[in-house]
Amino acid sequence: MRAPVFTGSCPALVTPFDASGNINYDAFGKLIDDQIAGGVDAVCVCGTTGESATMSIREHIAAVEFCVKRVDHRVKVIAGTGSNDTSAAVYLTQHAQDSGADAALLVTPYYNKASQTGLIKHYEYIADRTDLPLILYNVPSRTGVSFTAESYRVLAQNPKINGVKEASGNFSLLAHTRCLCPDDFYIWSGNDDQVVPMMALGAKGVISVASNIVPEVMVKMSHLCLENDFEAASKLQIQYMDLIDALFIEVNPIPIKAAMNLMGLDAGALRLPLCDMSEKNLEVLRQSMVRMGLLSNQ
C-alpha cells in the first residue's frame, strides 16, 4: 500500500525575485526556513504560486536544487515539474529526482486541451521514466481541462502516482473519485477555502497559498481535520475566510506577494505578464490583514 507523500499542510512557495528580476536566494532561503519553523509538513517549490510559468528551465532546476539543499531533509520537498509538453515534464521530473526532491507535482497540460486518453498517456509516460512519487494537479480554471473520476481510477493503478492536488472546486468529482479509487490514491486540497470540507471527504491535507503568511494556521486547520476534530477545524476555516478571499481577489500569486511585502517578508516583484494589483484591491487586502492582526492599522 502506498503511503501519502505528506499529510497536513504544505505551502505552495512563492519565488522571490530581486530588483533585477533574478531569483533572490537569500529571501527564498528565509521563506523556506520560516515555513518550516511554522510547522509545515512539506514544501512545494516551482508551482503556480512560484511563477513557474515564467521561469526558464535553468532557473527552474536551480530553484528546486536550492530548495532541496536548504530544507536538508527537515520536511518533504515537492517539486512542480508539470508542462504542456510531455518530454519537458519528463526532463524536469528527472532533474527533480536527481536533485533529491521527494515527489513531483504535475499540472494537467495547459492550452493543449488533451482528451482523457491523452491525459492518461501523458502521466503514464512520465511515471515510466522516473522513480519519484507523482502528484497530479487538477486546476481546470487555469488549464482548460479537468480529470474525470474514471481517469483517476485508471491512473490510480500506477504505483508511481501517489494522488492528486484537487483544485477544481468540484465536490461531486471529489466524492466520485473517493468512490472509484483505492484508499491509497491520496487527495490534497488545492484551495485554501475548501480545506475542511475536502478533508471531511477524505483529503489528506492542503497545498496552500495562504501558508506563505499564516503557516501555523494552515497547519493547525489541517491537523485538526486529521485528528477528526472537524468542529474546531471548521471554526478556523470560517475565521480565516475573509483573509483567504482577499488573497484571491486577483489571480494568484499577485495578492500573496503583495501581502508578504506588506508584512516585510521579501517576496519581491512579479514577472510579466503578472503585475501589481490595483490600489482598490490592495486596500481590500490590507484591511483584511489588519482585521486578522497581520498588520497594524496605520
pLDDT, tens digit, for every residue of 36-51?
A: 999 999 999 999 999 9
| % residues pLDDT > 90 (the chain) | 98
Q: Summarize pLDDT for 218-273 with one digit per residue, the tens.
A: 999 999 999 999 999 999 999 999 999 999 999 999 999 999 999 999 999 999 99
- pLDDT of 208 > 70? The answer is yes
Burial class (CB in 10 A: 0-12, 13-18, 19+), 181: buried
Integer Cα distance of 90 and 173 in angstroms: 27
Neighbours of 3 (CB within 10 A): 10
Catalytic hit among 137, 152, 186, 240: 137
Arithmetic mean of pLDDT, 80-104: 98
Give the closest residue to 136 by CA, choosing from 197, 181, 98.
181
Return the C-alpha cell found at 2: 502506498
Count of CB atoms situated within 10 Å of the CB of 229 = 13
Does residue 160 surpass a pLDDT of 80?
yes
Is the per-residue pLDDT at 165 higher than 80?
yes
**Residue 260 in grid coordinates:** 508578504
Give tens-digit pLDDT for 100-136: 999 999 999 999 999 999 999 999 999 999 999 999 9
pLDDT for position 84: 96
Phi-psi region of 163 (alpha: psi -120 to 50; beta: other; left: phi over 0): left
57-79 pLDDT, tens digit per residue, is 999 999 999 999 999 999 999 99
Residue tagged 481535520 (cell numbers): 225
Please tell me which residue in 76, 160, 165, 204 is annotated as part of the active site.
Answer: 165
Q: Give residue 166's pLDDT.
A: 98
Residue 298, pLDDT score: 65
The CATH classification number of 8-230 equals: 3.20.20.70
Q: Is 165 a catalytic residue?
A: yes
Could you list the beta-strand ranges (E) of 120-182. Answer: 134-138, 161-166
Per the prediction, the chain carries an average pLDDT of 97
Confidence (pLDDT) at 296: 87
Q: 3-state DSSP helix/strand/coil percent for the chain, to nearest 5? A: 45, 15, 40
Per-residue pLDDT for 190 more than 80? Answer: yes
Domain ranges of the chain: 8-230
The three cell numbers of residue 18 are 530581486
State the Cα–Cα distance between residues 224 and 189, nearest whole angstrom.
Answer: 15
DSSP one-letter code for 54? G
* pLDDT for position 125: 98
What pTM did the predictor assign? 0.96
| Amino acid present at 73 | H
